[in-house]
Every structure is written in C-alpha cells, then in structure tokens.
Amino acid sequence: MASYDVIIIGAGPGGYVCAIRCAQLGLKTAVVEGRETLGGTCLNVGCIPSKALLHASHMLHEAEQNFEKMGLKGKSPSVDWKQMLAYKDEVIGQNTKGIEFLFKKNKIDWLKGWGSIPEAGKVTVGEETHEARNIVIASGSEPASIPGADVAIDEKVVVTSTGALDLGKIPKSMVVIGGGVIGLEMGSVYARLGTKVTVVEYLDAITPGMDGEVQKTFQRILKKQGLDFVMGAAVHTVQTLKAKARVAYRLRKDDSEHELDADVVLVATGRKPYTEGLGLADLGVEMTPRGQIAVGKDWQTSVKGIYAIGDAIPGPMLAHKAEDEGMAVAELLAGRHGHVNYGVIPGVIYTHPEVATVGETEESLKEQGRAYKVGKFSFMGNGRAKAVFAGDGFVKILADKETDRILGAHVIGPSAGDLIHEVCVAMEFGAAAEDLALTCHAHPTFSEAVREAALACGDGAIHA
C-alpha cells in the first residue's frame, strides 16, 4: 500500500492538470486512469482528434473552394480516409505521450486501472488499496442518450462522437441529432468530405445558450456550406436497418411525424457525468438532481477530504473549465488560495468560421434588466479577413451602458477562438470597452475587428 498526499481519479484535462499543479507545489501525487493512454475524453476521443479532422477537412474545402481564385490550379486533392484517420491517431498519440512525459517529469505515479473509493482517505485500484490525505474525483462525462427515446448505439451505424471519429468509411448521408457543439463540429467535418448532412434539432435555434444573433448567422453560414437543418424537431426513435438507420421525429409546431434515413446517425444530444463504479452512493457523497457530484465553494464534496472537478460537477462541460478547477483545487490542497472566475469562461466551436463567446449575451442581459450597449463590427471591414476569404461574421462586444465595463463578447469569424481571449483578459481586469479601443492593434490582423467592435461601443468604428 502506497501513501500519497493526493490521489486524483481520472487523467483528463481536469485530472492531469490538477496532478501536475499538485506535484509542482510539493505534494506526493498519483493519478488513477483505466484507459490505455492518458488525457481522458479530450485527448483520446474528443477535442484533439476532432480538431485534427476539422483541420484536414478544412484544407480540402480550401483546395476545392478557394485555390483557383488565388491562381492555384490543378486537380483538387482526393481523400484517403484511412490516411486521414492515421493522421488523427498520430496526433492523439503525440498528445497522450506528452502527458505521460509530463507525469514522469513531475514524478506523478500513474496507478493503472479503474479506481473506487472504499472510504475517505483510501482509493482501490484492482487488488491494491492506496492511502491518500485527499482525493480528487475528475472522472469526466459520457454521451447521454436521448431522454425517453428508443435508440440503440452500436458505434458503427448509430454513433456518438466516439464512433464518429472512427467511421469505417465516409458515409454518403448522415443525420446528426442535436445542433449543439459536437453535432455541428462533426457535421462540418463530414459535410466537407462530401456527406449529405442533416441536423435535426429540438429547439428553434442551434447552439443553445449562445447569443441569438450569432446563432442565426452561424446557421446561415453552415447552410451555405451544405448542411441541412430540421428545426423544432423532437427525435423519439432511431431504428437500425442493416447498414442504415431510420430517425423518427415529431415536429413541435404541429405534432406531425416524419422519418429520415441515413448511412450513419450521430447522436449528439449532450453528455452526462461519469461516476460509475466510484462507490459514491455507499460513501454518502451528495449528488445534484441531475446526477452531478455536488460540491462546495472549495470543490469539496459532502464527504471531507473528497473533492470533485470538471464534467462530473455542475457547470459547462469544457476541458478548460476542468483545468482551471484542477489548478484551483491543487492550490487549496497545498494550503494556498484557489479561485475560478466562472463569469469569464470562454466557449469555442471549432467550425469554419469559428464561433467564440464569453460572458453575458444580449438575451441574458435583457433578462436581468441590465442597461447595456452593443459594439459590433463585421469582418467584411477587416482587410486581413477579406484577403483570406474570411469576411463572413462579426465581433460583438456588450458593455455596461453607464460604466462602459465589458460584460460579454461574441465572435463568429476567422480565429474567433483565439481572438476571444483578449476580451477575456480585459474582463478579468474589469476593463471598459474604451480600454480595448485605446490599445494599439497590429495591422493587418483579425484582432483589429475586436478593437473596432470596442470602438463601436463609443464614438464608432473606423472601417464601418
């Protein structure tokens, strides 16, 4: 039996970051992970592999749509799907091995296997039980099925995001259930590779919770890229027929019943916390009504010495939110101060164009009855964006009407996922839109559009 200052269960972005920070702060640290490789869902079957496929398929799209315009003539590349998957797997391997290297460098023990907690202060992995002054649960999430629907997932014809990253061949047709982040990222990949993609979404807008104007612009751009949408449709049955599947849905506006057949059906209707086998019920760990682990302000559960972070607790299911919580808990366990500013957690969709968002939306501000002003700037007025066929989209900054303090920002356009961070830093410092507007931005960059949106919160953008 080994004894540790902290044992972390799960080596995804929450767990591995927490472990590295704990080790850096002098705590004897171990991580329990049952997968063959470190990095959790994000590195193995989520964020990283999907970005590889998004990149590859975007390159194809550029070749097909824009090369000739730039005087680059010749046949468009053909797709070698096996090689594209091999490239994706190579990217996964590089990243997961990178975490293994960081564990060795920081002298973190990897306890291989699936862990459970027989009592506070103890973690069992296989035959062995280890002692830990503190335990951090970072066990992540798994795809949720459609509530009340009849769906059998085989990861071949009816798939979750995991199966969608490893299809045997590029399907001719695909129905995506759910117009959220996973559905639109993976739907984009296959649409660019030639698949006829139809997104079936329960609500009347895609990407729930995002700024309404962004939702509309995003859907219009995706339609232009060839994705079809059936909105306001509740899927209730997915039936597998030989090498095809049939999706049955009811339109909410008139209760009419419809069906769609496709080679592959991607179920992307959300994820749920993964806490199976940990022994939480026997320990008496309090859960929320939604099956998440309930935690206090210090991320401690109802059982002293057991903490939880990431997708297993309430809040957005985002790798970077889990990472921040992991670092904060490590600081607390080392006797220091740990804090996460939940008001400034960006969200990014890695389609083309990218979509990025932080803070309040116009809808949430209206709901709060808060007086605000809007500064908006179109990428059509940005020279760099026009030069690279990326004039679609805009930057929108929301600022307090009286104080000019930035309350939120929403970007749809080139490199939105990177651009959002200057607004995040500004918000962390409680900046006013004028602070961004008065900051010199290099020309020609996409980031000038952020400055222009900030200028539009005051006396006006220059290039509008």
Long-range contacts of 162-168 (CB under 8 A, 24+ apart): 162/45, 163/266, 164/190, 164/264, 164/266, 165/45, 165/49, 165/50, 165/53, 165/88, 166/85, 167/264
In the complex, the smallest distance separating the C-beta of residue 150 from ligand NAI, rounded to whole angstroms, is 11
Nearer to ligand NAI, 317 or 407 (CB): 317
DSSP states along 257-297: EEEEEESEEEE-S-EEE--TTS-HHHHT--B-TTSPBP--T
Distance CA 356, CA 170 (A): 28
In the complex, the smallest distance separating the C-beta of residue 410 from ligand NAI, rounded to whole angstroms, is 15
8 DSSP β-pair partners:
31, 136
Residue nearest to ligand NAI (CB): 180
Nearer to ligand NAI, 43 or 132 (CB): 43
In the complex, the smallest distance separating the C-beta of residue 354 from ligand NAI, rounded to whole angstroms, is 9
Distance CA 218, CA 113 (A): 42
Q: Which of 255, 236, 258 is nearest to 177 (CA)?
A: 236
CA separation (Å) from 320 to 311, 341, 342, 346?
A: 11, 12, 11, 9
Q: Which of 332, 359, 336, 335 is nearest to 347 (CA)?
A: 359
In the complex, the smallest distance separating the C-beta of residue 160 from ligand NAI, rounded to whole angstroms, is 8
In the complex, the smallest distance separating the C-beta of residue 105 from ligand NAI, rounded to whole angstroms, is 28
Nearer to ligand NAI, 113 or 315 (CB): 315
Nearer to ligand NAI, 194 or 270 (CB): 270
Nearer to ligand NAI, 111 or 138 (CB): 138
Nearer to ligand NAI, 317 or 426 (CB): 317
Q: Which is catalytic among the residues 258, 339, 443, 463? A: 443
Are 346 and 358 in contact by the 8 Å Cβ rule? The answer is yes
Are 158 and 174 in contact by the 8 Å Cβ rule? The answer is no
Are 207 and 355 in contact by the 8 Å Cβ rule? The answer is yes
Pairing of strands 3-9, 257-262: unpaired
Q: Using CB under 6 A, list all residues that contact ligand NAI.
A: 146, 149, 177-183, 185, 200-203, 208, 233-235, 268-271, 316-318, 348-350
In the complex, the smallest distance separating the C-beta of residue 67 from ligand NAI, rounded to whole angstroms, is 28
Are 136 and 307 in contact by the 8 Å Cβ rule? The answer is yes
Is 443 in the active site? yes
Are 305 and 280 in contact by the 8 Å Cβ rule? The answer is no
Nearer to ligand NAI, 347 or 408 (CB): 347
Q: Which of 204, 250, 253 is nearest to 231 (CA)?
A: 204
In the complex, the smallest distance separating the C-beta of residue 207 from ligand NAI, rounded to whole angstroms, is 7
**Close Cβ partners of 245 (under 8 Å, ≥ 6 residues apart):** 157, 158, 175, 238, 239, 261, 262, 263, 264, 265
Nearer to ligand NAI, 114 or 202 (CB): 202
Task: Give the three-class secondary structure for 169.
Answer: coil
In the complex, the smallest distance separating the C-beta of residue 349 from ligand NAI, rounded to whole angstroms, is 5
Are 160 and 143 in contact by the 8 Å Cβ rule? The answer is yes
Catalytic residues: 443
